Amino acid sequence: MAEEDATMMDVDEPTTSQATLMPTVTFVRAPASADELKSVWNRETSNQKRLIDFLTRWPPSRTPFAYGPWILADRGGMDHQVTPNFSGLASAFESLVASNNVTVEAIDQISQTNNVLVGKWMVFEESSKIDMLWGKILYHICVERQRGFLKVSTRQEGEKHVICIYVQDYTNKQEVSELRKILKSLGVKWKIGFKTDAYTHLNIYKNNPWNIRPSRYHE
C-alpha cells in the first residue's frame, strides 16, 4: 500500500537539490519469519542500547520487501481490542453515494458510528535518508512520548519508504496536531498528509469522483 498511497495522496516531497544515487545495497540477514520485524516496547526496554540494536538489525534501507512489507514498533497506548465495523462503514458510504451526500463531514459521521477512527501521519522519504529519520521518530515515540504505534515500509527498488505514525481517534484533533508538531521538531518540515483507515477502506484517493481530499489533514 505504500507505493499506492505515495502516488494517490496529495503530499509534498522533501526538498532535495537532486536525486541521491544509492550505492550497491547489502541487505541484512533474513529473519526466520516476518514476525521478527515486529517489536513491542515498554518502560524497561525503551532504552538507547536496545533501540540501537533494533535499528541496526532492521534498517529500512537494507531490509528488502521480500522479508516483509513493514517494520513495526508498538509502544502502547493504542487499544487493539477495539473492533471497527468495516462492513457497516461500506454500507453507510453506499447510502451517501446514492443520496449524493459524500462530504467530509458525512464521512466523519459514519466513521464515528462504525468505530473506524484510526488514522496516521504518513512521511515519505528516500532510502538514503530513511534510516536516520526512522531512528529519530522511533526514539522519540519510545523514550520521550512513551506511547504510540508506528511502522516503516521496507525497501523496494524505485520506491520511497513511508513511515506511518498512528492515532486511535483521528477526530481527536489535539493528538493529531501534537504528533504533527513532534514530526516537525524531528525535521519533517515539508507538508505531509494524514490518512484515515476509513478513507483507505472506502478507496478515497486522489482524483476521486467526490472531490474529497484523500488526506484528512494536510500540513
Q: What does the pLDDT look like over 165-199, one tens digit per residue?
A: 999 999 999 999 999 999 999 999 999 999 999 99
Tell me, what's the pLDDT at 77? Answer: 87
- φ, ψ dihedrals at 148, nearest 5°: 140, 165
Q: Left, alpha or beta for 100 (phi > 0: left; psi -120 to 50: alpha)? A: left
pLDDT above 70 covers a percentage of the chain that reads 89
Q: How far apart are CA 147 and CA 25, in angstroms?
A: 33
pLDDT tens for residues 83-125? 999 999 999 999 999 999 999 999 999 999 999 999 999 999 9
Q: Answer yes or no: is pLDDT of 11 > 60.
A: no
DSSP secondary structure, 18-36, as one string: SPPPPPPP-PPPPPSSGGG
DSSP secondary structure, 183-206, as one string: HHHTT--S--EEEEHHHHHTT--T
- Structural domain boundaries of the chain? 39-76+84-218
As a whole number of angstroms, the longest Cα–Cα distance in the chain is: 56
Tell me, what's the pLDDT at 9? Answer: 56
Q: Answer yes or no: is pLDDT of 4 > 60.
A: no
pTM, entire model: 0.88
By CB atoms closer than 10 A (0-12, 13-18, 19+), residue 95 is: exposed
| Least confident span in 27-41, 74-88, 108-122 | 74-88
Q: Show the cell assigned to 4.
A: 499506492
Q: How far apart are CA 77 and CA 121, in angstroms?
A: 16
Residue 77: strand, helix, or coil: coil
CATH code for residues 39-76+84-218: 3.30.760.10
pLDDT tens for residues 124-176? 999 999 999 999 999 999 999 999 999 999 999 999 999 999 999 999 999 99
Q: Answer yes or no: is pLDDT of 23 > 70.
A: no
Give the bridge partners for 164, in sequence order.
Answer: 122, 151
Q: Answer yes or no: is pLDDT of 217 > 50.
A: yes
Residue 38: strand, helix, or coil: strand
